């Protein structure tokens, strides 16, 4: 493949789309590696300092969780020491995107957030079509949902924080009716009196697959106490049904092939989880994969112990 040197403006545009690329990588539509930070026909030119960092980021999902946490923290520190160039922001954003796939510790996430904030401070991005670019949203999500600290005097970061709050207001008021694989229809607002866990997932998504056994365990544990799990996929029944049967999942699997509910909940990357208490209040949510321990902490906010 020939090497194409792309402009600074183009690099920032692709940085804003990186979260979507990660999903495509998992689906096999784009091979995840240093070159795939952009489209398949384009290739990043890494410096000698950057290339080993990019390769380690590529391999993070293959590491045991304890090693992954330590490696993620070290990578954040290594990226922070890089010169202020566009590739630094790409690496910081990609590391942040992967750092929430489980429970790697608050200290690790704080280092990741600090690195991303520093990269954005050095290489700020202009808004596109009135929306804050994705790296600002990534940082805002870390602050809002992972409870880390980030100092960034940038109107795009403030806009990203405001966007999250608007999205949460929509999710609080959201209602939908979808049909599960077995043919039963479920309406969110019709589940008053239940604790409802809404999980967005797909068969091709590695973090989604990783958290499914824990969701099944929690469903069996709390179903008699009123827990309802609605797992929503935008794939078709022919794809989802054999996968679910193989996984031995018993909680309801709902289909959203037109992605209307995904759009209603502003779901960009998956998995995403939203928990409503018995009064229909949105009390907890995650921006990525959760462990059983993390799910239990979320359910406790809805009154399930």
Q: pLDDT tens digits for 199-223?
A: 999 999 999 999 999 999 999 999 9
Q: According to the model, what pLDDT value does residue 268 have?
A: 87
Closest Cα to residue 207, out of 283, 279, 287?
Answer: 287
The Cα–Cα gap between 290 and 199 comes to 11
pLDDT of residue 34: 31
Count of C-beta atoms within a 10 Å radius of residue 196: 22
Identify the three-state secondary structure at position 282: strand
What the chain holds in terms of domains, given with CATH numbers, is 8-168 (no CATH), 177-300 (3.40.30.10)
272 DSSP assignment = E
Q: Which residue has the higher pLDDT, 155 or 37?
A: 155
Which residues lie below 8 Å from residue 74, measured CB to CB, with a gap of 6+? none
Q: What is the pTM of this model?
A: 0.82
What does the angle CA 97 – CA 103 – CA 106 come to, to the nearest 5 degrees? 85
Taking the C-alpha atoms of residue 86 and residue 92, their distance in angstroms, rounded to an integer, is: 10
pLDDT value at 73 more than 90: yes
Sign of CA dihedral 69, 62, 20, 290: negative
Q: What is the mean pLDDT of the chain?
A: 87
Exposure of 259 by Cβ count < 10 A (0-12 exposed, 13-18 middle, 19+ buried)? exposed
Q: How many residues does the chain have?
A: 305
The Cα 174–Cα 151 span in angstroms is 32
DSSP letter, residue 59: T
Per-residue tokens: 185: 């229809």
pLDDT tens sequence across 5-20: 333 333 333 333 343 3
Helix/strand/coil for 171: helix
Q: Are strands 282-286 and 272-276 parallel, antiparallel or unpaired?
A: antiparallel
pLDDT per residue as tens digits for the range 230-269: 999 999 999 999 999 999 999 999 999 999 999 999 998 9
The two structure tokens encoding residue 45:
């030119």
Cα(224)–Cα(146) distance, integer angstroms: 30
Angle of CA points 161, 165, 169, to nearest 5°: 165
Rounded CA separation 179/283 (Å): 25
Question: Does residue 144 have a pLDDT over 50?
Answer: yes
What is d(CA 229, CA 182) in angstroms, rounded to the nearest whole number? Answer: 15
Q: Residue 197 pairs with which residues in a beta bridge?
A: 229, 275
- Pick the more confident residue, 42 or 231: 231
Q: What is the pLDDT of residue 273?
A: 98
List CB contacts of 304: < 8 A, sequence separation 6 or more. Answer: 195, 222, 225, 226, 227
Residue 250's region, left for phi above 0, alpha for psi from -120 to 50, else beta, is alpha
Cβ neighbours of residue 33 closer than 8 Å, sequence gap 6 or more: 54, 55, 58
């Amino acid at each position: 493949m020939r090497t194409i040197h792309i402009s600074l403006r183009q690099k920032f545009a692709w940085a804003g789309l990186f979260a979507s690329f990660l999903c495509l990588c998992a689906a096999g539509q784009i091979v995840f590696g240093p070159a795939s930070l952009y489209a398949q026909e384009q290739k990043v030119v890494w410096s000698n300092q950057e290339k080993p960092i990019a390769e380690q980021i590529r391999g993070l999902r293959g590491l045991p969780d304890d090693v992954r946490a330590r490696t993620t923290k070290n990578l954040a520190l290594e990226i922070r020491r890089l010169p202020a160039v566009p590739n630094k922001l790409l690496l910081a954003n990609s590391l942040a995107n992967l750092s929430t796939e489980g429970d790697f510790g608050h200290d690790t996430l704080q280092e990741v957030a600090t690195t991303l904030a520093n990269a954005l401070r050095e290489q700020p991005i202009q808004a596109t079509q009135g929306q804050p670019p994705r790296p600002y949203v990534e940082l805002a999500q870390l602050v809002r949902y992972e409870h880390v600290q980030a100092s960034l005097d940038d109107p795009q970061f403030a806009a990203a924080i405001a966007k999250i709050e608007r999205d949460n207001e929509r999710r609080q008021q959201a209602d939908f009716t979808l049909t599960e694989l077995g043919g039963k229809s479920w309406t969110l607002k019709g589940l008053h009196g239940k604790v409802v866990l809404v999980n967005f997932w797909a068969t091709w998504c590695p973090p989604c697959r990783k958290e499914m056994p824990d969701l099944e365990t929690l469903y069996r544990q709390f179903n008699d106490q009123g827990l309802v799990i609605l797992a929503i996929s935008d794939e078709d029944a022919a794809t989802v049904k054999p996968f679910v049967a193989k996984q031995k999942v018993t909680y309801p699997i709902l289909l959203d092939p037109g992605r209307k509910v995904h759009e209603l909940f502003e779901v960009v990357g998956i998995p995403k989880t939203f928990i409503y208490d018995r009064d229909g209040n949105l009390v907890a949510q995650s921006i990525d994969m959760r462990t059983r321990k993390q799910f239990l902490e979320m359910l406790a906010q809805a009154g399930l112990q």
